[in-house]
A and B are shown apart, each in its own frame.
Chain A
Amino acid sequence: MTVYIIRRVLQLIPVLLGVSILVFSLMHLTPGNPAQLMAGESAPPDTIEQIEESLGLNDPLPVQYWDYISGVVQGDLGTSMRYNTPVADEVWPKFVVTLELSIYSTILSIFMGLLAGIISAVRQYSISDITIMIVALFGLSMPNFWLGLMLIQWFAVNLGWFPPTGWEGPGSIVLPVISLGTAGAAIIARMTRSSMLDVISQDYIRTARAKGVKRRVIIYKHALKNALIPVVTVAGLQFGALLAGAVLTESVFAINGMGRLLVDSIIQRDFPVVQACILIIAVVFVLVNLVVDISYKFLNKRIDLND
């Protein structure tokens, strides 16, 4: 187990390195001179030179990358071109908002998804199963930004139950979390159902029945624990998808999070901020996957030799 964790952590190094190189390259892959982009079309040449000098754009690329990455490791994410302030100051408070949104949405996805998936599997082919699976298929096929707009229209505009926008107070988080979490809930529900059905047909479930165990206990004790193993991986991947999907949700609900900052910065071509946002989301995702992989291995070690 320890060996596995160490190996898995070591595997992260090339991935994180690659991610940082890719993020670093963003500015350099863009057609045109970054300093020119920053200063604007009509900037005088010496201003551009000045910017190039201050950003170290005249150094060889490896040197620039080294400067960039050593800054990042120390928490220096560069300077915003738009506001001329440290990117880190700009990004962190908004990152917290996005993280909250993603975590709440993931919790909703897992809770709803598991519940619906279990009901579906236990009552296979019943009306509730069919209804849940149809709803899940819709949930999977809906753009979360459209769902967000519809929720605003119904529950904020028409019914006035929740504020239409913002991220302040418990009422305001309901609609964004539903909007972002629905697709994840649908995916987890489908996964849970198929995983449960798979487990229910296993020999050890028959053994439990032969022992005289109650049906309810068989489902929640014997089957669910086994069925959860593959669901864990899906839930981890969902967290990443939600973190990225927050970009759209924040835009719909005018939430001042990192997603919105990212979109605004792309439009404004504020590259240091774009780089920081993308880097943070990718690194968080990679770390969450690490945790999920390790817990999967932990849950699954008991079956490994069996296969």
Chain B
Amino acid sequence: MSTIRTESQQQEPLDLIRFQLDEFVLVKLRGAREMKGRLQGYDSHCNMVLSEAEEYIYSAGDEETVVKKTEMVFVRGDSVILISPISE
């Protein structure tokens, strides 16, 4: 089974982020952090606005992973490592 090309226009890498607009994404960040949230907006620097966001701060030691919840958060693009959709 092959996937068909659905787009006539040329696709750009950032389109992959565009397709996730209004969907939940996982954003891996520098400093052993991750954010999950609904992608409200982004730009070419991977600055992103997430709603219903949860931030996970991992630590190397025995300490528990810290989870912070935010209604709406701006993630600055320079700390973004990867963005991935969360499969339901």
Whether A and B are associated in the same complex: the answer reads no
Residues in A lying within 8 Å of B, measured CB to CB: none
